[in-house]
Amino acid sequence: MSARVSIRDVAARAKVSLATVSNVLNRPEVVATATRERVLAAIEELGFVRNESARQLRSGRPRAIGLVVLDVSNPFFTDVARGVEEAASEAGHAVILCNSAGSATREARHVELLAEQRVHGVLITPATNSLEAVDGLRRRGVSVVLLDHPARLEDTCSVAVDDRTGGELAVTHLLAEGHERVVMVNGPAHVHQAAERHRGAVDAVLRAGRDPELLETIVMPTLDVASGLRAGEQLLARPVRPTAVFCANDLLALGALQALVRGGARVPEEVAIVGYDDIDFAAAAAVPLTSVRQPRHLIGRTAAQLVLAEADTSRDHEHHHVVFTPELVVRESSRGPRRRRTASRR
C-alpha cells in the first residue's frame, strides 16, 4: 500500500510552499487562480486526502456550524436547513442539525454540546424568548446568528421575515374576497412568529375599517397537522361555520383543510383557507393552499453566510439584522367570486 501522501508531497509536486497548499485547502479565495489550479492538479495526481481529524486536533475546531431548529419535522425548517447546508458546504463546512422540539431544556443541551465541540458558529431559532442559550454561546466566544427571529441584539446577527406584514397580507386577502368574519387558528403566544402574525391579522381588520370583533382567534398548543385537524373538527362542529380561516402556518392549514373536506365542507366555496410558509405541500394539497410565502432557502443561506463571516473576522465583524418581506401566493383554497360572504349554516 503506497505511503500516505502528505501535504509536503503536494507542495513539492506543485512547486509551492506548505502555506500555499494550506490556503488552497482552507481559504481558496486568497490563492491566485493559476496557483490554486496547479495545487489542485497535484492533489489529484498524488491522491492526497486531508487528514481532517489531525487538522481538528491541531486547530481544535471542526469545520462545522451548528443549526438548532424548533421542529425538524416541519418542512419550513428543512427548507431553511437546505439553504444553510448549501452555503456551509460552499465554505467547506459541515452542518450539525439539532432539534429543540420547542423545549428550552433540549435547546440548552444541544447548545452545550455544540459549544463543547467548538463549532465555528451556531444558527438558532430560540425555543423561548429568553435568549439565555444565545447569551451562553456568546460568553463562550461562539458566533451566533438568530434564525427566523427578529431580536435586534447589538452583538448578534439575525435573519427573520416580517411576520406582522405576513399576517396582514393573509387577512386583507380574505376580507377582499368578501368574507364578513375570519377565524385565525394560531399557535401559543410565546412563539413570537405566531404572535406577530396575529398582530398583522388585527392590523388588516383595523386598516379595513372593520370591527375588530370580526376576527376570532383559536389558540392551539402546537403548530402542526394534528392541531390543525383538531381545529378543523371544532369548526365543523359549530352550528354556524366560519367562511374564512387563516392558519399561522401551513401544517395547521393542511390539518384544518383535511378535517373540513373530510367532514363534507366545500373549500373554498363554503370555507376559504389561508396558510403560512408556502412549503411544497401547500401547492400539492388536494385543494391547493393559498399561503404566505417565506423565502426559506434564502433565510438559511443568509444566516449561514453571516455566521461564517463573523467566525472568520470576529473582531471587526459588523452585525446585520436582515428582515425579509413575505408574499401572498393565492391558490384555489381561498380564491372565489368576490361577493359578500356570511357564515354558512350546516
Is the Cβ–Cβ distance between 219 and 252 less than 8 Å?
Answer: no
What minimum distance in Å lies between the beta carbon of 299 and ligand RIB?
9
In whole angstroms, the minimum distance from the beta carbon of 124 to ligand RIB comes to 13
Given the complex with ligand RIB, which of 130 and 314 has the nearer CB atom? 130
Please state the closest distance from residue 323 (CB atom) to ligand RIB, in A. Answer: 13
**Shortest distance in whole angstroms from residue 163 CB to ligand RIB:** 7
Q: Residue 215 CB: number of other CB atoms within 10 A?
A: 22
User: Which residue number has the CB closest to ligand RIB?
Assistant: 249
Of the two residues 23 and 74, which places its CB atom closer to ligand RIB in the complex?
A: 74
Tell me how far, at minimum, the Cβ of 148 lies from ligand RIB, in Å: 5
Residues at the interface with ligand RIB (CB under 6 A): 70-71, 74, 76, 148, 193, 223, 249, 276-277
Integer Cα distance of 182 and 174 in angstroms: 8
Q: Decide if 200 contacts 168 (C-beta within 8 A).
A: yes
Nearer to ligand RIB, 268 or 275 (CB): 275
Q: Smaller CB distance to ligand RIB: residue 190 or 238?
A: 190
**Closer Cβ to ligand RIB, 9 or 203, answer by number:** 203
